[in-house]
Structure 1
Amino acid sequence: MEHVVTAQLRTVVGKKRAVRRLRSQGIIPAVAYGPGVEKPLNIGLKKNEFLKIFKHVSESTPLTLVVTDDSGKELFKHLAFIKMVQYDKVTDEVKHVDFYIPEAHHKMRINVPIHVVGKAAGVEKGGILEVVHHEVVVEALPDKVPEVIEIDVTNLGLGETIRVKDVKLPEGVKIDLDPEDVLVTVIVPRGLEVEETAPAAETTEPEVLKKGKKEEEEEEE
């Protein structure tokens, strides 16, 4: 799904009173910068329109940023990512947004969240699922960046792990970690280990005793 964010070029910059006036008019001040733009663009976002989109996106969601002038003429259109969001300390409302404009056809590095799906088989047996990395740095072309990395843990048993090398990624996408780094694991509680090993000891002991008894009978004969 394409997310289009429309913004208007902003001429008022740095003046607190003027910026407060913008916010009172339902405009969120923002800036767009990065290697894909010659110089930073000071823009304004219509609060209601932006918040509708903001509910469904994250830092790794590719956006189409369209900037217009006062008359509505399109000045700029480019792939963008939300870099940073500032919130009001009292009301928790969005006060300012930074957009990052990557350079087309050049790989970028960006944080992508990990989304675990399914219930691990090991958890069903009493294990504890531990997500070691809730997000990872991904290297990819801007238009190939995945919104999330989905990891299915359904078949993950007690003491088993999913490492970076085990994750299937889209072509051209690379996780910037060692291939052996653990992403998700099922921890075996100490008490559960004792319960699993105890029966094995009990089954071997009678066999030893039985063998010993047979040897004694042979000696008596």
Structure 2
Amino acid sequence: MSENKANTNETENNTVENTEAEVKTDNKDESSDYIAFSNPEKNNAKSNKFVAAKADGGASNFYDWIKSILFALVIVIFCLNFFFRLVDVKGTSMVETLQNGDKLVVTNFNYTPKTNDIVVISHGKEYTEPIVKRVIATAGQTLKLDYENDRILVDGVVLDEPYLDVSTFCNVEADYEIPEVIPDGMIFVMGDNRGVSMDSRDSRIGLISVDNVIGKAQLVVYPFSEFKYLY
């Protein structure tokens, strides 16, 4: 009887011990799970990754912005070299059509000068500054400056010049012999303000090589009050 009671007590003790062990194990597991979830080192690692990602994103946006600006500059430079450019008018040789200080849009892509075009020229025969003039005659055309009757004949036809507010020559004659037929690759140009214009009538300018033509003036874009198309 006492032996059976002793065995029962031992079984109960073992059960209690096993239960306490399970409780301790459960507590350890719960404690361990809690610590793993709130591990400050892991939280810091996550935070650092977030900050790094955010920094990388900011740098990427900055570089994208810089690339966009550089691309736009390349496009502008390409257009200015091959399609159009801005040119400032200096002097009064093209009054009333153009005024001193006007800003022009000049096109130059695949351009061939034609009669009546207003062109920008890099330099004359001896004159080294850029000039703005009107094309009067081109290669192969016959040209006669009729001073007596104050008119110009191109290919035997009197040139119509509605843009003039002065006489055709304003008593300024050519100081050299101008060919009757304009040579290949050359043009004859004059300013609209004939009394003050130094143009192809002057030996310092002479006939202009088409290679020295920068382009054709299309628009006056400044001052804004004078904005206009030139033709």
Instruction: Note whether the superposition's TM-score is higher than 0.5.
Output: no
TM-score range, shorter chain: under 0.3
Which structure shows the bigger proportion of residues in strand conformation?
1
What TM-score do you get using the length of structure 1 for normalisation? 0.21
Greater relative contact order (Cα < 8 A, sep 6+): 2
What TM-score do you get using the length of structure 2 for normalisation? 0.21
Structure of larger gyration radius: 2
Which structure shows the bigger proportion of residues in helix conformation?
2
